[in-house]
């Protein structure tokens, strides 16, 4: 049985007061559920607050990015070992907003994936196509390039300690979600790319879906056989919605 994960990506949202209210509410509403991991990925300045607040709870936490370097003259960057010192579990790697807005390349994303594991963190590797690429028939090629860069640099065995997130760019923050069937098709395809190198690793790999997941559509999407949970943006900022999405994931196990 694959582990399921529901991770909240707060993106650049929050304040100490807002975080406190959100975390307090999440701790109250999300009880430990067998086989389901729950995590929140907060902006860097709040990681210590999040770590403190979640200590002793069943919710883990992650960061939204890391440097591919371990230390050095890289102003503004944060290394995996710095995150690990605070008890970080997960780190997003190659989110489409990093790829698009910050020009992160496939090979840089792969280097970040390797750096995360070097520091003992679990990378959540994000992959996904734009609408233009989907409509132009380029989706499979784009996904292959994104995954292959990491497979080549890290090796397939590295996927035993990683999570894959399928996030179609056209579904992020748009209210337009992939249909459960569309999500399933791509998740199965992503799993097959890993299976081509190691079937056992592919079978055990947690692949989560992200893109306008809400309480109203979560259960349907999570019911698909290759969808092992979600990466939640907007709805993770509303405690009740995030808790409802976690419940939906727990119900379909």
What is the set of active-site residues? 95, 167
* Options 210, 218, 226, 247; binder of ligand 13P; rule CB under 6 A: 210
Nearer to ligand 13P, 53 or 64 (CB): 64
Size of site (CB under 6 A) for ligand 13P: 14
Considering the complex, state which of residue 156 and residue 236 has its C-beta at the smaller distance from ligand 13P: 236
Site string for ligand 13P, 120-159 (x = CB under 6 A): ----------------------------------------
If one asks whether residue 233 binds ligand 13P (CB under 6 A), the answer comes out as yes
Query: Does 212 engage in binding with ligand 13P (CB under 6 A)?
Result: yes
If the CB atoms of residues 139 and 231 are measured against ligand 13P, the closer one turns out to be 231
Considering the rule CB under 6 A, would residue 232 count as an interface residue with ligand 13P?
yes
CB nearer ligand 13P, residue 62 or residue 80: 62
Which residue, judged by CB position, is nearest to ligand 13P in the bound state?
233
The only residue of 65, 167, 226, 228 in contact with ligand 13P, by rule CB under 6 A: 167
Q: Does 168 bind ligand 13P (CB under 6 A)?
A: no
DSSP conformation letters of the chain: -PPEEEEEE--S---HHHHHHHHHHHHHH----TTEEEEEE--GGGHHHHHHHHTTSSEEEEES---SSSSSS-TT---HHHHHHTT--EEEES-HHHHHHS---HHHHHHHHHHHHHTT-EEEEEE---HHHHHTT-HHHHHHHHHHHHHHHH-GGGGGG-EEEE--GGGTTSS-PPPHHHHHHHHHHHHHHHHTT-HHHHHH-EEEEESS--HHHHHHHHTSTT--EEEESGGGGSHHHHHHHHHHHHHT-
Where on the chain is the footprint of ligand 13P (CB under 6 A)? Answer: 9, 95, 167, 172-173, 210-213, 231-235
């Amino acid at each position: 049985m694959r582990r399921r994960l529901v991770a909240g990506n707060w993106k650049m949202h929050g304040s100490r007061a807002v975080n406190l209210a959100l975390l307090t509410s999440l701790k109250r509403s999300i009880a430990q559920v067998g086989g389901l991991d729950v995590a929140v990925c907060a902006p860097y300045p709040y990681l210590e607050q999040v770590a403190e607040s979640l200590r002793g709870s069943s919710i883990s936490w992650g960061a939204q990015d890391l440097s591919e370097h371990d230390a050095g003259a890289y102003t503004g960057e944060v290394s995996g070992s710095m995150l690990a010192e605070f008890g970080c579990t997960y780190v997003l790697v190659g989110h489409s907003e990093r790829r698009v807005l910050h020009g992160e390349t496939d090979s840089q994303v792969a280097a970040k994936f390797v750096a995360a594991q070097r520091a003992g963190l679990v990378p959540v590797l994000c992959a996904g196509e734009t609408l233009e690429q989907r409509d132009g028939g380029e989706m499979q090629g784009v996904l292959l390039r994104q995954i292959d860069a990491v497979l080549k640099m890290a090796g397939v065995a590295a996927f035993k300690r990683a999570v894959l997130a399928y996030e179609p760019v056209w579904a992020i923050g748009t209210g337009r979600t992939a249909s459960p069937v569309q999500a399933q098709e791509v998740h199965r395809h992503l799993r097959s790319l890993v299976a081509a190198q190691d079937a056992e690793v592919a079978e055990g790999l947690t692949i989560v879906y992200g893109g306008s997941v809400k309480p109203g559509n979560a259960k349907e999407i999570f019911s698909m056989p290759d969808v092992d949970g979600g990466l939640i943006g907007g709805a993770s900022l509303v405690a009740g919605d995030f808790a409802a999405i976690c419940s939906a994931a727990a119900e379909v196990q």
